[in-house]
Structure 1
Amino acid sequence: MPLDDLIELRYGKALVAGDRVAGDYPVIGSGGVAGTHTTALVTMATIVVGRKGSIGSLTWAPDGCWPIDTAYYVAPKRDVDMRWLYWSLHSLGLDRMNKSAAVPGLNREDAYRASLPLPPLPEQRRIAAILDEADALRAKRRRTTALLNDIPAVVFDSYDKSRWDVATLADVARLQGGITLNARRGALPAKANYLRVANVFRGSIDLSELKETGVTDREIARTRLQVDDVLVVEGHGNRAEVGRAALIETPPDGELTHQNHLFRLRPITGRVTGRVLELALNCATSREYFRRVANTTSGLNTLNATNVRALSLRVPPIGMQQAIAADVERARSARGSAQQHESHLDGLFASLQHRAFRGEL
């Protein structure tokens, strides 16, 4: 059945942050839930579909919501199970129906031309129940992985630090800012990959998607990354994520630098190892310090180099640092295993969805 015969995609309505009053209804845009409000534009269960920006994104709103003007919301034209419809829309590839190169946009007429197999209502409910149960298992695994992400810092926090040296970050590492991106870089002959905030997580670096930019020889010499360097997030929209740190563990493939929203810390030999520095930056005390000293401008929370260098740390004797790293590595191994299981469950779920919408469940 053509999607046009099954649903209507209605426009959301603008609701700027200053006009919102915290309440029971989520305010939803193309990026998901962006706050709450006391009243709803839609009072029944609906699905919010990204129209601008994160096109084709799908957000479930079981008790109504306020969809803003970067999104559509779904109004069914037939008696359908809304959870079945939610999973069905995932199968249409709405995120690939982009009509604008500058600002991604979803034209609803393109979406309407897509078709869905429409099973009887009892079958819709059966399919939805299976997929909901499978997705709940994935959610449990994601929560487990998220908890394990914090274990290395928790292990570090568990040590008795009363006899450790007290030092500022400037005493144990050298700080370096990154390169500022601009349009003129395209004309530079030398090229290098660079890391962004999106690559640096708390305790891990994702190298699966690297960006390239033009650089000068002096910039590469100044900002080149190497094993045992630690990257620290200088700016982030979420205040709790400012200051998160990750270690460069393997030699970069070719020249690798970093954007100016990341600080590079290079440990001073004989004072601290990169692993222990990463742990110290991600521990509860450091996280609270970064939250306290971060500046907020236009929704972006940032750290300045002076405050980062002034961070006070408890530094274990150099001989103890290898033992600490070994304890933490065991915790990281458990996290890696959980991530593998999560990836396996995601693959199984994708297969389950594929079978569901081919009528094979």
Structure 2
Amino acid sequence: MHYIFRSFLFVLFLFSCKNGTEKPQKPNIKEAKFAIIIHGGAGTILKKNMSPEKEKLYKAKLEEAIRVGYNILNEGGSSIDAVQKTINTLEDSPLFNAGKGAVFTNAETNEHDASIMDGKTLNAGASAGTKTVKNPINLARAIMENSPHVMLSGEGAEQFAAEQQLILVDPSYFYTKKSFKSLERVKQNENMAYYDANINDSKFGTVGCAALDKKGNLAAGTSTGGMTNKRWGRIGDSPVIGSGTYANNQTCAISCTGWGEYFIRSVVAHDISALMEYKGLSITQAAKEVIHNKVGKLGGNGGVIGVDNKGNLMMEFNTAGMFRATMTANGDLYIGMFEK
């Protein structure tokens, strides 16, 4: 009889457990970490050449842009959304060589390139040589998510943008006095050296962003107007996945800015990830190796920004300066422009 009673109590205990009456154990959850980093181009950015008013404008726009992405991440949004919306803010500003502030080609037009990559899926999208897409980074994301392709260019890319109902503008929207004067100055020196790195930083510009969200997913994106006075449909590294942009949850997310021909030849963004994956280097060690010992020795210059899958941030350049900003999960903000 006692045996039957004990068996009954045991069955009753199991039943009560299945129905959730047992006291739940407190889950062991670590505080979610996230981080975001941006750049607005690298080149001869010297304090002596910049007025206090102009410096204030650049800092304000960099802060505005990075806070857009930070707020998305802080509210649990995705790194892809944070990257896209942050770059939108920079593309809409005439201060940077992307979107509204894009530089002019030799034919006095504005041609835009952009790319974006999802570190979780390794999916990517890119566009090149568009003239009417208001926000090229939006087109890059649409290509990634809504087409079977990675890169579209020229008229085909613009047709796809129209089909995706992205905002198209008249090419005159991209005109800025600053960029047009830069073209005139470069053309005046054209017979001296078209590829002279010292002529008005004609190769530099570009905006980019890399982010890690609370779910541990990385993303990176880059957008640019390319090189002042560029010809023949020239395309730089910005829309080239692995050269100007790369993201992989196993390692890092990277966006580049600089002399695109060298960044393409050095496959800069992916090379940083590969050094981390195959040699165990930190993101900063890998970036220094690529920018200073690889790109630099070839004769190229520029910079990179990135974040690894643990939230460590990196900004490395071999130029006189790079517009850059970072924010971490605790809300700390850093803005830099000149040499370290």
Same fold (TM over 0.5): no
Structure 2 length as normaliser, TM-score?
0.23
TM-score normalised by structure 1 residue count: 0.22
